[in-house]
């Protein structure tokens, strides 16, 4: 967000920034988006946020950040509120011993797989975002899959020549790796393919980096369990809430 602001991004302008003294709570307004983050807070800190933000006057906004902070602030909002997304943020510093051996191997994705990868990536997006799809299958192919193949950061688990699971390893501008774009074909789930791919990919990342992160749906038990079995530990609760405009 800050980088986009500094670069003069037309649609991203930080209109206000704040922090609460005596805590690690901070926030950014990029109207109509409000972002509130922190890990060390209590009821007085939330009340301080409420006094500073005055959510009672909030008529339309997208509010994201630490789940309890966001929900605490939005208690004061009378407008209709809709939870759009809730996520668990995980970090792994050491993989657990490999629990099961599954047939196949981890490989880099390549252009020979483009049709299968594009379809799997599109299905991932459908499961992840539902009716809030941002890209059609051709856009996923051209804007996500092909660039990832070229960067060699899209991995696949292949068994007898068939792709069973995929994921992407992303390295941020601050040199922090994370797992994303994780998808296993529905017909082969619960067979260990996704777990094997996540374990081996994370293990390889930890040869070069101190830790690896990822974000997954808060209440989707299979993926949460898979990552916990690999060795990921939950470090953060994230939420996105839309405050609807008041009815005229």
Domain contains 87: no
Reported as a single tens digit per residue, the pLDDT across 39-91 is 988 898 888 888 888 887 888 889 999 999 999 999 888 889 999 999 999 99
**Residue 67 sits in the same domain as residue 119:** no
58: left (phi over 0), alpha (psi -120 to 50) or beta: beta
State the CATH number of the domain containing residue 184: 3.40.630.30
Q: Report the C-alpha gap between 239 and 66 in whole angstroms.
A: 6
Same domain, yes or no: 53 and 105: no
- Verify cis geometry, omega within 30 degrees of 0, for the bond prior to 87: no
Claim to verify: residue 59 and residue 123 sit in the same structural domain: no
Query: Where a domain ends, among 79, 110, 136?
Result: 79
Domain with 215 in it: 92-236
> Is residue 84 in a domain?
no
In terms of domains, do 128 and 16 share one?
A: no
Asked whether residue 172 is domain-assigned, the answer is yes
Q: Both 111 and 145 in a single domain?
A: yes
Nearest to 236 by CA among 93, 92, 89: 89
Query: Which pLDDT value is given to residue 248?
Result: 53
Do 60 and 109 fall within a single domain? no
Domain's final residue, options 14, 46, 79: 79
Residues 17, 138: one domain?
Answer: no
Query: In the chain, which stretches have pLDDT less than 50?
Result: none
Same domain, 20 and 126: no
pLDDT digit string (tens) for 237-248?
A: 999 999 988 775
Of the candidates 181, 205, 215, the residue with the CA atom closest to the CA atom of residue 67: 215
pLDDT, residue 22, reads 82
pLDDT at 31: 79
Please check whether residues 109 and 204 belong to one and the same domain: yes
How many separate domains does the chain show? 2
Task: Quote the pLDDT of residue 235.
Answer: 94
Q: Are residues 133 and 62 in the same domain?
A: no
Cβ 105 vs Cβ 201: under 8 Å? no
pLDDT of amino acid 92: 97
- Print burial letters for 132-169: b (CB count within 10 Å at least 16), e (below 16): eeeeebebbbeebbbebbeeebbbbbbbeeebbbbbbb
Instruction: Decide which of 79, 111, 138 is a domain's last residue.
Output: 79
Residue 114 lies in a domain: yes
What is the spatial order of strands in the sheet that 33-37 belongs to?
16-19, 26-30, 33-37, 61-66, 233-243, 81-92, 212-217, 177-184, 162-171, 154-159, 105-108
201, exposed or middle or buried, with CB in 10 Å at 0-12, 13-18, 19+?
buried
pTM, to two decimals: 0.85
Distance (Å, rounded) from C-alpha 163 to C-alpha 66? 36
Do 128 and 186 lie in one domain? The reply is yes
Evaluate whether residue 242 is within a structural domain.
Answer: no
pLDDT at position 21, please? 85
The pLDDT assigned to 132 comes to 66
3-class secondary structure per residue, 161-177:
CEEEEEEEEEECCCCCE
């Amino acid at each position: 967000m800050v980088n986009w602001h500094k670069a003069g991004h037309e649609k991203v302008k930080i209109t206000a920034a704040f922090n609460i003294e005596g805590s690690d709570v901070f926030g950014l307004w990029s109207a109509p988006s409000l972002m509130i983050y922190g890990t060390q807070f209590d009821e007085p800190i939330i009340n301080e946020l409420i006094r500073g933000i005055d959510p009672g006057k909030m008529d339309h906004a997208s509010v994201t950040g630490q789940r309890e902070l966001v929900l605490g602030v939005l208690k004061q909002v009378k407008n209709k509120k809709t939870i759009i997304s809730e996520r668990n943020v995980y970090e792994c510093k050491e993989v657990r011993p490999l629990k099961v051996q599954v047939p196949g191997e981890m490989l880099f994705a390549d252009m020979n797989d483009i049709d299968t990868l594009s379809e799997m990536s599109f299905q991932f997006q459908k499961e992840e975002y539902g009716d809030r799809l941002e890209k059609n299958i051709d856009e996923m192919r051209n804007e996500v899959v092909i660039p990832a193949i070229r960067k060699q950061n899209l991995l696949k688990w292949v068994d007898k020549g068939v792709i069973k699971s995929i994921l992407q390893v992303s390295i941020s501008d601050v040199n922090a790796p994370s797992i994303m774009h994780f998808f296993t074909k529905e017909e082969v789930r619960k067979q260990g393919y996704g777990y094997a791919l996540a374990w081996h990919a994370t293990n390889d990342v930890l040869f070069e980096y101190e830790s690896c992160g990822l974000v997954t749906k808060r209440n989707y038990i299979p993926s949460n369990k898979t990552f916990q079995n690999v060795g990921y530990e939950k470090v953060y609760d994230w939420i996105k809430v839309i405050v609807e405009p008041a009815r005229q």
